[in-house]
Amino acid sequence: MRALMFGWEFPPHILGGLGTASYGLSKGMSLQPDMEILFVIPKPWGDEDQSFLKIIGANNTPIVWKDVPFDIVKERLGKYMNPEEYYRLRDHIYADFNYMYTNDLGCIEFSGRYPNNILEETNNYSIVAGVIARTYPYDVIHAHDWLTYPAGLHAKSISGKPLVIHVHATEFDRSRGNPNPIVYGIEKDGMDNCDHIICVSNLTRKTVIENYHQPEWKVTTVHNAVEPLSPEIEAIERLAGVPEKIVTFLGRITMQKGPEFFVEAATQVLKKTKHIRFVMAGSGDMMNQMIQLVAERGIADKFHFTGFLRGRQVYEMLKSSDVYVMPSVSEPFGISPLEAMQCGVPSIISYQSGCSEILNHVIKTDYWDVEAMADAIYSICTHPGMAEFLKEEGKKEVDEIKWEYAGQKVRDIYNRLVH
């Protein structure tokens, strides 16, 4: 069984949970017998782990014929592919297609991020998908998140192979129920014309069925999981010289993640004690608004903004935390609490998160219930027995939530569609 997967990001170059989930699921699926994965991303950097799959770069795929010498291809693309593969891809370009935004290799450049012209990049990605879909053999197509749905549909139209789309989030989650009609249209088109839909939680499945008008039989929940910690990460120690308890928010600082409720809860806690510090780790369009809110609440001396953290920095922050808080307004799943629990950090999550469906040894509150959130933070920080229980039992629980199990569920869906 070979899957042609379309994704938008892949570790170590990630900007959110999508890349982490794509990596974990692919690795879990690779443990299934007779499973191969071709994973397409807009722009590989050359340091991705390809031990369990093959990475294909959209930016290294020619869509316009150029007379390029072998030596030039080897010099420019040798880090990413054999020159023979470039020429094999070139054999499958559209003979009558010319595109003004190609480079001297006949390829489209991609940012590898989420630029302001994201709709243009999404369209370009779907164009490239046509060449890739004609070049490689595969049995099933798997598209991760709305950015890749047009690419998946293009590949399906070319090959006739079944298409699975993976809903990691919907526009209703990102916009607090006020969706961008263009993005909603792309999502709806993908759902209407695919063969099966995978959602990361029952919460998301409900949204897909009710707001995108999909039949129940077509939509399956496969909860996310978490990668085991490496020995290097396990060895990270708590930051020295900070006597106070540390309470951490880690994620995009956007309205979906509820950062203002974290600030308000911090304000409530600091009315009771001055022996706790709060950290907001991440970046996003509400960063300046949150800095202003912290100043207005008079808690700036106990509140810290780290900016965006990646890789080892995330775990250094978690290993130095006493409480992790995810007050998301609408979180399709939320892998970060699982990562915090792996590090032995007692966690507080909102009922409005998909991971609340599978986690038991956490404290759950409504995102808007600032008083309950503040009480939970204060209790964990001031009651060692409670903190120790959540630390030990939480780690035991999350260590049994494995990507291999999620991978088996996805493989079962493939088998039904293909056979």
Res 302 pLDDT > 90: yes
pLDDT value at residue 21: 95
Q: Is the pLDDT of residue 305 over 90?
A: yes
| Cβ atoms of 197 and 167 closer than 8 Å | yes
CB 365 within 8 A of CB 372: yes
Percentage of the chain lying above the pLDDT 90 cut: 92
Do 221 and 273 reside in the same domain of the chain?
A: no
CA dist 173 and 59 (Å) reads: 30
pLDDT at residue 147 in the model:
97
Q: How many whole angstroms separate alpha carbon 32 and alpha carbon 388? A: 37
Among 226-240, 263-277, 317-331, the range scoring the smallest mean pLDDT is: 226-240
Phi-psi group of 331: left, alpha or beta (phi > 0 → left; psi -120 to 50 → alpha; rest → beta): beta
pLDDT of residue 234: 93
Q: What integer is the mean pLDDT of 386-397?
A: 97
Nearest to 307 by CA among 240, 250, 266: 250
The Cβ of residue 355 has, within 10 Å, a number of other Cβ atoms equal to 29
DSSP state letters, 287-316: HHHHHHHHHHTT-GGGEEEEE---THHHHH
Same domain flag for 372 and 293: yes
Alpha-carbon distance 32 to 255, whole Å? 38
Residue 8, both tokens: 């938008």
Read out DSSP for 157-197?
Answer: HHH---EEEEES--HHHHTTT---HHHHHHHHHHHHHSSEE
pLDDT at 96 over 90: no
Task: For residue 64, give the CATH number of its domain.
Answer: 3.40.50.2000
pLDDT bracket for residue 97 (50, 70, 90): low
Lowest-confidence segment of 97-101, 187-191, 304-308, 364-368 by average pLDDT: 97-101
**Statement to judge: residues 57 and 183 lie in one domain:** yes
Domain shared by 57 and 36, yes or no: yes
Same domain, 65 and 209: yes
Considering the domain architecture, whether residues 382 and 409 belong to the same structural domain is answered as no
332 and 216 in a common domain: no
Question: Which whole number is the average pLDDT over 341-367?
Answer: 97
Looking up tokens 């006949």, which residue turns up? 106
Report the distance separating Cα 418 and Cα 365, nearest Å.
42
Which residues pair with residue 384 across a beta bridge?
none
Domain total for the chain? 2
The whole-chain average pLDDT of the chain stands at 95
Phi-psi category of residue 298: left, alpha or beta, with phi > 0 → left and psi -120 to 50 → alpha: left
Instruction: Name the residue range of residue 262's domain.
Output: 231-398
